[in-house]
Amino acid sequence: MSWQSALACWYLRRQFRPETLKPHINVERARALTSKRVWSPRVPPGWRLRETYGAHDAPLLGEWLEPASTALDGGPAGAATPTVLYCHGGGYYFCSPRTHRSLTFALAPRANARLFSLDYRLAPEHRFPAALDDATAAYRQLLAMGTAPGSIVIAGDSAGGGLALATLVALRDAGAPMPAGGLLFSPWTDLATTGASLRINDSVDPMFCGAAIERAARVYLGDAPATHPYASPVYADLHGLPPLFMMAGSTEVLLDDARRVADNARAAGVDCECEVWKKMPHVWPMFAPFMPEANRALDRAAAFVRRATRRATLAAHAAQASGVTSSV
């Protein structure tokens, strides 16, 4: 554990955890505190940022980060470049693409992938399944633009990690072409809050207390059942999903949200990697480039993006060639 990660844990325990210990969630306060703490890194050299928040940009509301030489129109350059569809965390009720730029701006160049960070609708103004509807619509729009499904990885952190996984499940159920993979940082996948780590890690998680998770779930769910597989994909049938790559910290209250998904995915025949990093705080890749562990985690995540899209592209080419051969 580096001194940088120790400092990050100290900061979170002093600045963030006290908020989660309060008996009620103050949505407006959470949003205000987050907006004040936003530090926006510079756009990486050789890359460009395009914000798409206008009504005419729907359903791709959010922001693009891509190599400056790559077009956004879904043409040949876009189809050849891996694309990450990113869902930010924040309990489904706060944060935004802007709050997560330290992560997305570091991930895209490492993966040599253009990245779209989705500004999905937030609760309580827009409860479940609004976020899921926005994520599936964004994915379908990428396909409509000409982006090959095998070039896409759907990614996210915390609530956004659960949303990314739920999006994969919903797309499979709808018979949509599947993306190359799913990349999940400290995913929140169980809004019914049944994971043992909620209790075991309650006193050692520097960011959350276990009880805060249930309170956040109510903000998003409204009257929807907490075990709905599109809200809590730990309860979903995961067969037929593309490869998954997950990371979680050993002291997180949400650790079991990742470990149980990994167990379920493997039992369903899904290629799934789940890394548990010792004493890392929730979504520690957000601390790039300050924290060495964040940089190493993003290197591994980027390698997965490249590996998954390369594998999916080769499989698509092989299937196409087989189809041509069999028709001759």
Active-site amino acid positions: 158, 252, 282
289 and 317 Cβ atoms separated by less than 8 Å: no
CA dist., res. 79 & res. 144, Å (int): 12
- Spell out a b/e string for 213-222, using b for 16 or more CB atoms within 10 Å of the CB, else e: bebbbebbbe
CA dist., res. 188 & res. 95, Å (int): 15
What separation in angstroms does the CA of 53 have from each of 62, 72, 90, 117, 212? 6, 15, 19, 11, 31
Residue 12 CA to its chain's centroid (Å)? 21
CA dist., res. 187 & res. 163, Å (int): 9
CA dist., res. 170 & res. 164, Å (int): 10
**107 φ, ψ to 5°?**
-75, -45
Nearest to 277 by CA among 256, 253, 249, 255: 249
What separation in angstroms does the CA of 74 have from each of 50, 58, 77, 94? 15, 16, 7, 30
- What is the secondary structure of 42-110 as a DSSP string? PPPTTEEEEEE-SGGGTTS-EEEEEETTS-SSSSHHHHHS-EEEEE--STTTS--TGGGHHHHHHHHHH
62 and 119 Cβ atoms separated by less than 8 Å: yes
Structure tokens at 223: 């009257």
